[in-house]
């Protein structure tokens, strides 16, 4: 039986990389987008090129009715959901120290998409995953895409940082509540080479940050969407004895710079 995964926010960036990587491993994939239909079509073509099946579902992960629709469309197509990657996210870039840089509405939207969204999607897939566990002991897997912002307090804005900290603790709670039928883990990417970050920071600041990652992190790398997808899929597809873990994926940036000869 071919396994099935939903990847939210999978038109571009990390979400798209997860969808394509899953397809390369033989999974059928439900691709989700809110506005980026052209990019979603491109991701769909890349997924289908691996010989698997896929569907495109437009849905806003800040709306419960849309979360339920995404799960329902997936079940209608394949009759099962084995994996969920909660990747869709929102932010508003805010200059450090500018406490007036966002409104209550901005705060509400960011927390709703980044925290309530993964909760609502997990709730939407839970009945099927529980049923599969009870019927055949096939355990579901959920991976939340968090951020190092939730661990360090540094990120694009205060609401974003707060949302990722909340997502980390939500991961722990869901790992307990959905056990033993479902494993729930999270990855916390650091800098990712992406259009989203480039557009948010501006080209000059983006290139400055990218260069800093390449020169100062222990691995001397600026992360790519594909590298983050590798970590997410480790939890989703391989780590059968792991739940409730939160993994920093930042080339060791959280460790600080360790000078070494020959570098």
Kindly list the catalytic residues: 160
DSSP labels, 63-102:
-HHHHHHHHHHHHHHHS---EEEE---------TT-TTSS
**CA angle in degrees (0–180, nearest 5) for 22-65-31:** 20
DSSP structure class, residue 27: -
d(CA 79, CA 167): 28
| Nearest residue to 227 via CA among 182, 187, 173 | 187
Q: What's the length of the chain?
A: 263
Question: Packing angle between helix 117-136 and helix 64-78, nearest 10 degrees?
Answer: 30
**Do 27 and 84 contact (CB within 8 A), yes or no?**
no
């Amino acid at each position: 039986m071919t396994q099935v995964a939903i990847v939210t926010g999978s038109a571009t960036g990390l979400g798209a990389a997860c969808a394509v990587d899953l397809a390369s491993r033989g999974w059928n994939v439900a691709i989700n987008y809110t506005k980026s239909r052209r990019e979603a079509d491109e991701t769909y073509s890349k997924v289908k090129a691996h010989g698997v099946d896929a569907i495109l579902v437009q849905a806003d992960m800040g709306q419960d009715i849309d979360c339920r629709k995404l799960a329902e469309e997936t079940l209608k197509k394949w009759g099962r959901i084995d994996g969920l990657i909660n990747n869709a996210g929102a932010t508003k870039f805010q200059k450090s120290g500018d406490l007036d840089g966002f409104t209550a509405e901005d705060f509400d939207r960011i927390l709703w998409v980044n925290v309530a969204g993964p909760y609502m999607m997990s709730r939407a897939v839970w009945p099927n995953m529980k049923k599969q566990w009870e019927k055949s002991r096939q355990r579901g897997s959920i991976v939340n895409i968090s951020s190092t912002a939730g661990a360090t307090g540094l990120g694009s804005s205060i609401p974003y940082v707060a949302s990722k900290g909340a997502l980390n603790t939500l991961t722990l709670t869901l790992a307990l509540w959905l056990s033993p039928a479902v494993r729930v883990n999270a990855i916390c990417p650091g800098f990712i080479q992406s259009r989203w970050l480039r557009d948010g920071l501006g080209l000059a600041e983006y290139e400055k940050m990218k260069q800093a990652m390449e020169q100062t992190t222990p691995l001397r790398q600026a992360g790519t969407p594909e590298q983050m997808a590798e970590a997410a899929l480790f939890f989703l597809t391989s780590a059968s004895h792991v739940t409730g873990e939160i993994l920093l994926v930042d080339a060791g940036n959280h460790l600080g710079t360790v000078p070494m000869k020959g570098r």
